[in-house]
Chain A
Amino acid sequence: MTGLLEPALIVVILTNLAITASSRLAFGIRLVATQGVVAGLMPLVLSPEEVTVRLVVIGGLTVVLKGIVFPRLLDRTLRQAAVRREEDPPFGYKASIVGGVVTLGLAFWLTGPNRMPLPAPLASPLQLPAAVFTLLTGLFLIVARNNALNQVLGYLVMENGIFLIGLALALEEPLLLEMGILLDVFFGVLVMGVAIFHISRAFDSIEVDELTTLKD
């Protein structure tokens, strides 16, 4: 199973690059779902010998939540808002891919050898860079995209990144806390989905640069 770790991390990195490059929203939702499922299965890949109840429950819940529930929710929002793709983001798609590669390099640099003493040795030198890259991609999506749904996807990517960083730092959180975190993310996405539906009704589009009434 440990031989699957590096391919899994590379899949995570590739989904990040693909999300920054894609303008079609439904495709973006699929990519984030794939990333969430891979991230959810990562604990099982990391420690195949000690498959505890806790690991199975958390992994199972994450996979169901990020692989099935969130895409369904976001697809429904997408249908209700009747949008297919984002046309003109402030940071163009070609520039986004280049920015993605630069961010990847930045992630590798930030987590380079001997920068921070780690509590436990990493199972693979790719782990921490991939996790930090995911976090930075999520932040980039939130900042550089005008479409509200893309911003929600950015939030989900960020959450995936934080989850992966937690895994890389080998932190053992109790089961209830993990479930609490998952519940929070679920409710967050729920609230955001409802908000997007209302935005699409009130503004006739889900481009965030329409929301400019309140300013100083």
Chain B
Amino acid sequence: MIASVCHLFLALVGAPFLLSVINRTKAWIAGRHGQPWLQPYHDLLRLLRKGAVYSRTTSWVFRAGPLIGLAAVLTATTLVPFGQARALVAFQGDFIAFVYLLGLARLVTVLAALDTGSAFEGMGANREVWFSALTEPALMLSLAALAREVGGNGSLSLSVLHLGMSAAVWSRTGFVLALVAVAWVVVLLSENSRIPVDDPTTHLELTMIHEVMVLDHSGPDFAFILYGAALKLWLFAALFVGLLSPVKTGLPGVDSVIALAEVMGVAVGVGLVESVMARLRLPSVPQLLIGACAISSLAFLIERHGVLLP
């Protein structure tokens, strides 16, 4: 219980740090020095101190969007296990709740974007929703495959899956888990609007997907959105390492440290991917996402029909 609360605080505090890890990695690859480690925190504080500007064409939807979105992501944080501890809130089917809480956050962001009546936001909302519709089957199917495999009798709780993963499971069904991992990487990159799906540093509105949806928010609203995005990245990274990493010692403190290191490792990985690859052409992104769906369906089908390994 105490461990779960500690992990919750760790997530809340550490989420923006992931962003700076990614940026520093990209800078290091590019030969630059990069921004200070605590830059995202400074940015968030600065935004919180500013006043917000609201367009006259918007309504309460636009003001409520960032608030509800942040609330949804915070609630989802309580569902994610970390280290050797269960999540703060764990029940059968909580991973479906997790996916739908994130979906709610996306929904209110999209509604706020459409509320502005601007063409750019509408375009961004369209792309975002299209891509997330393609990503969701991949996410669900890979979780379903994991549930069958790791959760013993097919448990639907993230915490059970998390605690059930170990090196023994990898040696038993390594290949299927590798497929799930590949699908998860694509899902992670897509849901968090990173390259190769979306370039977070682009300043050309026509090439933006997620960034253009939040173009009109300012001040504290924008701070909430940025923080929510960072927290979402943390959640995905934590789930990725928690559900798939075989490195578990069984000791609570050590496992937490290992999990933290792995989450940072994921951030470094994202930074590397962003440095090495360019964004995919827009028509090719659905292909990538459908490919991820295919891989996770393959993992699910193999799981369902049973694999015999000596």
Check if A125 is an interface residue, CB within 8 A of chain B: yes
Interface membership of chain B positions 267-310, coded 1 if the CB is closer than 8 angstroms to chain A and 0 otherwise: 00000000000000000001100110111011001101111111
Check if A36 is an interface residue, CB within 8 A of chain B: no
Q: Contacts A2-B310, A6-B307, A129-B305 hold; do A97 and B290 have CB atoms under 8 A apart?
A: yes
Residues of chain B within 8 A (CB-CB) of A108 are: 301, 304-305
Q: How far is the CB of A85 from chain B (nearest CB, A)?
A: 13
**Most chain-B Cβ atoms within 10 A of its Cβ — which of A13, A17, A101?**
A101
State the majority secondary structure of interface residues on B: helix
Q: Contacts A7-B175, A14-B298, A17-B294 hold; do A93 and B287 have CB atoms under 8 A apart?
A: yes
Check if B179 is an interface residue, CB within 8 A of chain A: yes
Count of chain B residues with Cβ under 8 Å from any Cβ of A? 21
Interface membership of chain A positions 77-112, coded 1 if the CB is closer than 8 angstroms to chain B and 0 otherwise: 000000000000000011001101100110010000
CB of A6 within 8 A of CB of B309, answer yes
Say which size band chain A's interface belongs to: 20 to 34
CA distance A10 to B145 in the complex (A): 15
Among B156-206, those with CB < 8 Å from A are: 175-176, 179
CA distance A50 to B301 in the complex (A): 32
Q: How far is the CB of B293 from chain A (nearest CB, A)?
A: 7
Give chain B's interface residues, CB within 8 Å of chain A: 175-176, 179, 286-287, 290-291, 293-295, 297-298, 301-302, 304-310
- 15 further A-B contacts with Cβ under 8 Å, apart from A3-B310, A94-B287, A125-B308, are A6-B175, A6-B307, A6-B309, A10-B176, A21-B287, A94-B290, A97-B287, A97-B290, A100-B294, A101-B297, A104-B298, A105-B297, A105-B301, A124-B308, A125-B305
11 CB contacts below 8 A, A to B, read A6-B309, A17-B294, A17-B298, A21-B287, A21-B294, A94-B287, A100-B294, A108-B301, A124-B307, A125-B305, A125-B308
